[in-house]
Amino acid sequence: KPVIALVGRPNVGKSTLFNRLTKSRDAIVADFAGLTRDRHYGDGRLGSREFIVIDTGGFEPDSSTGIVREMAKQTRQAVAEADVVVFVTDVRLGLSAQDMEISRYLRQANKRVLLVVNKAEGMQESPLLAEFHELGLGEPMPVSAAHGQGIRSLVEAALDMVSEPEPEAGDEEAATQDRPVRLAVAGRPNVGKSTLINAWLGEERLIAFDMPGTTRDAIKVPLERDGQRFELIDTAGLRRKGKVFEAIEKFSVVKTLQAIADANVVVLMVDATQGVSEQDAHIAGYVLDSGRAVVVAINKWDAIDGYQRELLERSIETRLAFLRFAPVVHISALRRQGLGPLWKAIGDAYRSSVCKMPTPVLTRLVHEAAAHQAPKRAGLSRPKMRYAHQGGMNPPIIVIHGNALDGVSDAYRRFLEGRFREHFKLVGTPLRIEFKTSH
Ligand code: GDP
């Protein structure tokens, strides 16, 4: 997925733009208890083209102190990770010395830059836009983040600046037998990702593979287990050193997001000695949004006592409530304990995520569910579920067709979800239910 970073001085409307670019995606995935979104990274989509958006704090390149300096540092990292930088300026404030400064920095950084002028509602051809040519970044593109004008053109222009995206992960084709299961181990630094990967490689015969040519390419380690082929996607910034892997790069949210998007199954690793942190919850939120199958691995289980274990269980229940469908496995990567159950959970989650659900079975299930408890909605007409079919895999999507289904409650959706899950024995995968109403 291409990465788009929003850069500009404070108050030009970057976060409003960020919300515009990522909203369509968030709207599909409801908010759940315990899920606090990281407002700096988000997924966007235009038709079938997906991208990652990074919002940055206000950028003041020559600031040398405190919080402003920290923001500048984060902005530099975002620029380094981006495929395209969207440089946001403000037509009402006009061109400033700071904009010139930022533009100089971006040219130096040698990135593809798309210059946009925000707050330009109704200004296709305004003389006010002309002065932004001075930045030397080409034709300024007028947009209005607040009013949603020019957003589509902005995304199209940004995506056209990067090469065509790779074929989508998680599609039907990924489910075919001859492709390895793509597995990502996600978690913040020091949870034990490389220890786990080394433990796996120590158990298994390490199959020879090529190291990637550039640092941008993720390492993919082939692995076989019980006759099933896996491909391990690196999230830890791993480098091979002799026979073992060690993490040498800094933790990168973008790398983690890319790996999650590429994966079929994500092992979300939590450090038992640290509990579930805000950062863990954010990573868990990305996993939820991705729709990938997920197993929660609580690592360093060896290092905590009974009382701490109890506390931890409770913090998982509250802080990761939105991943309740995911199995939780306790492991010690260091002592190689719990690895058997972890593999089993990964296998179950993968099989669930690519489960085939025949139309006659789904249709029977919705009829049975309706007989047990009919759907209700506010308003006059009574909802009726006629038939259902499978609309996708990894995550499985069930599309229910019928009449007046647009206002069916979340509670009823959960009721249906429970019945589908039980019938198909789904574990470790989210399940999406869509209603299609024909009036
Ligand atoms: P990464 O940054 O997620 O790849 O984390 P590492 O694999 O480098 O591990 C970070 C630290 O945690 C190292 O000192 C490991 O030895 C330690 N560690 C990893 N797994 C375990 C475990 O299961 N139990 C204990 N007690 N320590 C562990």
**CA separation for the pair 166, 218 (Å, rounded):** 14
ipTM of the complex: 0.90
Q: Which carries the bigger pLDDT value, residue 401 or residue 379?
A: 401
Q: Are 416 and 426 in contact (CB under 8 A)?
A: no
- Reported as a single tens digit per residue, the pLDDT across 244-268 is 666 666 667 888 888 898 899 999 9
Q: Which of 195, 200, 304, 308 to mutate to test the pocket of ligand 1 (most atoms within 8 A of CB)?
A: 195
Q: Which carries the bigger pLDDT value, residue 221 or residue 168?
A: 221
- Reported as a single tens digit per residue, the pLDDT across 69-101 is 666 777 888 888 899 999 999 999 899 888 998
333 CA distance to ligand 1 centroid (A)? 7
DSSP 165: P
Burial class (CB in 10 A: 0-12, 13-18, 19+), 306: exposed
237 CA distance to ligand 1 centroid (A)? 15
Among 119-128, 272-281, 299-308, whose mean pLDDT is lowest? 119-128
**CA separation for the pair 252, 250 (Å, rounded):** 6
314 CA distance to ligand 1 centroid (A)? 23
For 222-245, what is the HEC assignment? EEEECCEEEEEECCCCEEEECCEE
| Residue whose CA is at the smallest distance from ligand 1 atom 24 | 300
Q: Which carries the bigger pLDDT value, residue 288 or residue 218?
A: 288
Q: Are 226 and 177 in contact (CB under 8 A)?
A: no
Q: Domains in the chain, ordered, with CATH?
A: 3-160 (3.40.50.300), 172-353 (3.40.50.300), 359-437 (3.30.300.20)
**CA separation for the pair 439, 436 (Å, rounded):** 10
At residue 15 the predicted structure's pLDDT band, cuts being 50, 70 and 90, is confident
Q: Are 270 and 316 in contact (CB under 8 A)?
A: yes
Lookup: tokens for 5: 């970073």
**CA separation for the pair 50, 72 (Å, rounded):** 27
127 CA distance to ligand 1 centroid (A)? 59
Ligand 1, CB cutoff 6 Å, lining residues: 187, 189-195, 236, 247, 299-300, 302-303, 332-334
Q: Which carries the bigger pLDDT value, residue 111 or residue 427?
A: 427
Average pLDDT score over the chain: 84
195 CA distance to ligand 1 centroid (A)? 6
Q: What are phi and psi of 299, to 5 degrees?
A: -95, 165
| Residue whose CA is at the smallest distance from ligand 1 atom 7 | 192
Q: What is the pLDDT of residue 235?
A: 72
Nearest Cα neighbor of 268 from 414, 393, 430, 397 is 430
Lookup: tokens for 436: 């299609």
- Reported as a single tens digit per residue, the pLDDT across 166-219 is 545 444 544 455 689 999 999 988 898 888 988 888 755 444 444 444 444 556
Residue 407 one-letter amino acid: G
**CA separation for the pair 30, 291 (Å, rounded):** 12
Q: What is the pLDDT of residue 212?
A: 46
- Reported as a single tens digit per residue, the pLDDT across 303-317 is 999 999 999 999 999
Counting from 1 in the atom list of ligand 1, the atom nearest the Cα of 197 is 7
Percent of the chain with pLDDT over 70: 81
Q: What is the pLDDT of residue 398?
A: 96
